[in-house]
Every structure is written in structure tokens, then in C-alpha cells.
Amino acid sequence: MKGMKLLTRMARSFVAGDNVDDALKQVQKLKDKGIMVTLDILGEAVEDKPMCDKAVQDYLDLLKKLAEVKSEAHISLKLTQMGLAIDDEYCTQNMVKIIGLAKKSGRFVRIDMEGSDVTQRTLDIFYRLRQQFDNAGIVVQAYLHRTEQDVRDINALKAKVRLCKGAYKEPKEVAIKKMKAIRVNFIKLAEMLFRKGVYPAIATHDSKLIKWTKAYTAENKIKNSDWEFQFLYGIRNKTQRKLAEEGYRVRTYVPFGTHWIPYFYRRLRERKENVFFLTKNFFKR
């Protein structure tokens, strides 16, 4: 019990709270610093239909709340939270409800990418949704061998892409394992998105990639209004503020809710720097 309480307290570094009111307080703090926000209700790998139905309703309620308070926040979600493990058609129709309501208030929805076992199904549903909605985007992961072709396909659709390294444990047959090689592929994919994509979202905490992105966009005279940096809530806060002060568009992915354990452990596993960050900030309290 004590161990779980400790983990819960530590997870607060990466999770904005248990409910939407908690999250909106953090949204306002970020807005005051010139930082935009994407909200995510934590949850994934749901195999129970009533739980999926509740997750859908939670997102519909969130959209209504954001419209009430006139927040410009985007939302993001995982398809395994929306019923992908149950049935593709059921999942798609749940997404139609959410993206349809978001469109009414001019709000953007980002579909998160999960493990490689659902990458193709996630893209298939995204492509289907794009035929009906232009306010939906997708995430691609630079460590997957397949992502270069996926980026070509998505660019052809003129859809918005969030490029990240990837945080799921994958075999070498599926994913690049060495960090140096992942960086090289990230840069290659970013160049593809800047040249032929639509409003790329460069999602990284890696100082080398941040430095490269700033240099590349300056050298190629790419306007700051045509792309944005994205970060995870609770990581590299000073860097986020500094970039915003320098005139870059910065967006923070703000997760909230009670289903935080899988998310929390991925954050610790993906990079050792996250463990150091968490420990340092926890014991400052």
C-alpha cells in the first residue's frame, strides 16, 4: 500500500490530475506561459465494451467542457481505449462520434500510435476517418522500420503528423534499437514532413533533435507558424518555456485520469533521463 502511494505521488510529475478540473488548472498555467495544450484522458488496451462506452462519453463530456470554458485545447486518444481490441467497426464509429463533435467547435483530434501490433489497424481506421473529417491527425514513431513509407502515404493525404521517437518495447525486426540510429531516422522523417507534409508536430525532448530542428527551419526559412514543437507534461519544463519565449509554437501533451500506470511506466522506460528528472523533482518537494 505504501509503495502504491509513493508511485502515485511520483506519477504526478507526469500526470496532471485525476479529473478534468485538475487538468484545466494546468492548462491555464501553461497558457499563461504561452504554451498550447493537447489533453488526453488516460486509458488503453480496453477489452470491455461498457468501459469503452464510458471512455467515449468521457471524451464527449470533455469536448463539451472545453467548449463551455472556451479553451483552445486539442485532444488526443488511443484507439485501444475506443474499442480496437473489440471490433474495428465499433472503434471507428466511436471515433466518428468524438471527431464529429470536435469538428463542431473547430477542435483538432490527434490519434495516438501504440504498439506495432496495432499500427496498421490504427492507420487503416485513421485513413477511413480522414475521408470524412479534416480535423484528425496521427502520430508516427521514428524507431519503426516501416515509418518512412507511412510518412509518404500520410503526406499524400495532406494529413497532420506528430513525429516522436516511440516508447513501446519492440523487437529489432520491427524497430531500430540504437539511439543514434533512431535520431538519424527521426531527422530523415522530419525533413520529409517539413518538405511535403502539413504543419508537422516535432515531438521530442532530445536536445540534439531540438537543436537540429531550430537550425533546419531557420536555414530553410520555414515560418514558426507552419509547425510546432511538442512535449510531454512534466518533462523539460524550462526548455518548453524558453522555446515559447523565443517565438516557437510549443504544445504540451497533458494526460489526466486514474488509469496512469501504463503511461507512467512507459515514461520511465523510454529514457533514463526521465528517471533522473522524476527523482530529482520528487525529492525537491
Distances (CA, A) of 54 to 6, 110, 138, 241: 28, 19, 23, 35
- Tell me which of 110, 130, 162, 267 is the catalytic residue: 162
- Whether 117 is catalytic is no
- 70: its cell numbers: 472556451
For the chain, how many helices (H) and strands (E)?
A: 11, 8
- Tell me which of 107, 110, 112, 251 is the catalytic residue: 112
Q: Put residue 162 in one of left, alpha, beta given phi > 0 → left and psi -120 to 50 → alpha.
A: beta
Report d(CA 199, CA 104) in Å as an integer: 21
Report d(CA 175, CA 185) in Å as an integer: 11
Helix (H) or strand (E) holding 125: helix 119-130
Beta-bridge mates of residue 201: 162, 228
Count CB atoms within 10 A of the CB of residue 182: 20
Report d(CA 30, CA 24) in Å as an integer: 10
- Whether 153 is catalytic is no
- 158: its cell numbers: 495532406
Instruction: Look at residues 33, 81, 39, 34 and name the one whose alpha carbon lies nearest to residue 57.
Output: 81
Distances (CA, A) of 168 to 13, 162, 176: 20, 16, 12
Active site residues per annotation: 112, 162
